[in-house]
Amino acid sequence: MNNFGLKILSVILAAILWIAITNIDDPIGSKDFDNMPVEIINEDVITDLGKVYDIIQGETIDFTIEARRSIRENLRRSDFVVQADFTDLSDVYAVPIKISCPQYGDAVIVSEGKDQRMKISLEELISETFKVNIVEKGEAAEGYFVGAKTANPNIITVSGPKARIERISEVIVEVDVTGISDSFHSVGYPKVLDEEGEEMDISYFDFSESYISFNIDLYRTKEINLQVDATGKPAEGYVMTDIEYEPKRIEVAGKEEDIRRIRYLAIKHPINNATVDISEEINLQDELPEGIVLVDQDKTAVINIKIEKMKTKDITIWPGDVEFRNKSTDLSLNILTTGPLVVTVTGPDAELAVINRDSLRPYIDIAEYRAGTYTETFKFGTLSRNSKVSVSPEINFNLTPLG
């Protein structure tokens, strides 16, 4: 006990033994943490400049720590504070990322990834107003159609980075109408779509209204006939020979009292002074009465109107071809005209092609005629609706009493 050197040696051996036992039972080791989100603080430094930022790099980071096993095994992601302080923003828009472990302090050492930086870009902060469009998802119950959709407010102001604001195509509120059979009121949250109809990340935007209220009116549906007629006349010497259109039936929708009143949709299409065929598409919704909407996705009807130039055809007939109808039995008929008669027919090609001497069937109705000599123009039994005729010369005949 009185040997001082031995005492010192004992202390040294004890310290070595303690270090050895500690390193064996509670060794220092490493642990990786991946995709740790970086918390941004003091971002008002940017907003005070009237600008907004976009993170280019460093939204999440990876790092490695070293600590004794007793600490390391208990470490959780929530034990770390990973921050980018925007008051430290450099001239090249980089912010140091600081990693700390408050619960364990210096007992946890960041060995890899401790010098990482967040890189940002600065953009001008702008605001722009947009109409709010209500977009339904799904389909209403059978026999019903989603009619008027109103949003309140119907205009919203969106603030954010200029480059992102300029990409906005429309602001919408989505409404699920699957199976509904009655009008309703609800609220929804605005969404932003780009030029390609893709939804944009709203975390970059501030809205003047955090939610939108809306009304959905549900209409009853009905199938009706479509009827298209021509009005007016083509140019002189031309004729309308046919009119075709599609569809023949359309599905419409409206409130109960409005849908009961509509039985068909009649459209008058002008052909005034036309000299060529008419082929057009018309918007059927524009032709429907107020309160009635078209259900079909295709809102148009196709109209084809055939306009033909009139042509002429000369046909020779004889007085004997003429039928004298309803002659009194007290009178005798004597045809005075002896030569041929020329019938000039004017009409479209298709009608002229089937008209000949046999098909004309000329006649004169003499039911009211008395004895005497007459010069008359006869009529024809089978002319088509677009054909016109002239006869040269007229026929002469006389009627004399019998006996």
Q: Read off the pLDDT band of 25 (50, 70, 90).
A: low
Q: Look at residue 61 in the predicted model and tell me its pLDDT.
A: 96
pLDDT at residue 9 is higher than 70: no
pLDDT at residue 19 is higher than 70: no
Q: Look at residue 147 in the predicted model and tell me its pLDDT.
A: 86
CA–CA gap between residue 208 and residue 203 (Å, rounded): 14
Q: Look at residue 26 in the predicted model and tell me its pLDDT.
A: 79
Q: What does the pLDDT look like over 29-44, one tens digit per residue?
A: 999 999 999 999 998 9
pLDDT at residue 47 is higher than 60: yes
Q: Look at residue 386 in the predicted model and tell me its pLDDT.
A: 73
Largest CA distance in the chain: 188
More confident residue, 253 or 21: 253
pLDDT at residue 387 is higher than 80: no
Distance of CA 111 to the CA centre of its chain: 57
Q: Look at residue 112 in the predicted model and tell me its pLDDT.
A: 93
Instruction: Please answer whether residues 262 and 289 qualify as being in contact, where contact means their C-beta atoms are separated by less than 8 angstroms.
Output: yes
Q: Read off the pLDDT band of 97 (50, 70, 90).
A: very high
- Percent of the chain topping pLDDT 90: 68
Number of DSSP helices (H) and strands (E) in the chain, helices first: 8, 30
pLDDT at residue 12 is higher than 90: no
pLDDT at residue 20 is higher than 60: no
Q: Which domains does the chain have, with CATH numbers?
A: 4-115 (2.170.120), 124-219 (2.170.120.40), 222-309 (2.170.120.40), 311-401 (2.170.120.30)
pLDDT at residue 190 is higher than 70: yes
Q: Look at residue 353 in the predicted model and tell me its pLDDT.
A: 87
Q: Read off the pLDDT band of 282 (50, 70, 90).
A: very high
The pTM of this model reads 0.57
Q: Read off the pLDDT band of 403 (50, 70, 90).
A: low
Q: Which residues of 261-272 are buried (b: 16+ CB within 10 A; e: fewer)?
A: eeeebebebebe
Residue 101's nearest CA partner among 62, 59, 58, 66 is 66
Instruction: Please answer whether residues 155 and 130 qualify as being in contact, where contact means their C-beta atoms are separated by less than 8 angstroms.
Output: yes
First to last CA, the chain: 185
Instruction: Please answer whether residues 262 and 293 qualify as being in contact, where contact means their C-beta atoms are separated by less than 8 angstroms.
Output: no
Q: What mean pLDDT comes out for the span 151-163?
A: 93
CA–CA gap between residue 230 and residue 293 (Å, rounded): 24
Instruction: Please answer whether residues 271 and 307 qualify as being in contact, where contact means their C-beta atoms are separated by less than 8 angstroms.
Output: yes
pLDDT at residue 360 is higher than 90: no
Q: Look at residue 21 in the predicted model and tell me its pLDDT.
A: 57
pLDDT at residue 400 is higher than 70: yes
Residue 301's nearest CA partner among 287, 315, 322 is 287
Q: What does the pLDDT look like over 210-242, one tens digit per residue?
A: 999 999 999 999 999 999 999 999 999 899 999
Q: Look at residue 296 in the predicted model and tell me its pLDDT.
A: 86
Q: What does the pLDDT look like over 102-144, one tens digit per residue?
A: 999 999 999 999 899 999 988 888 999 999 999 999 989 999 9
pLDDT at residue 322 is higher than 70: yes
Residue with the two structure tokens 């929804």:
188
Query: What is the residue-averaged pLDDT of the chain?
Result: 90
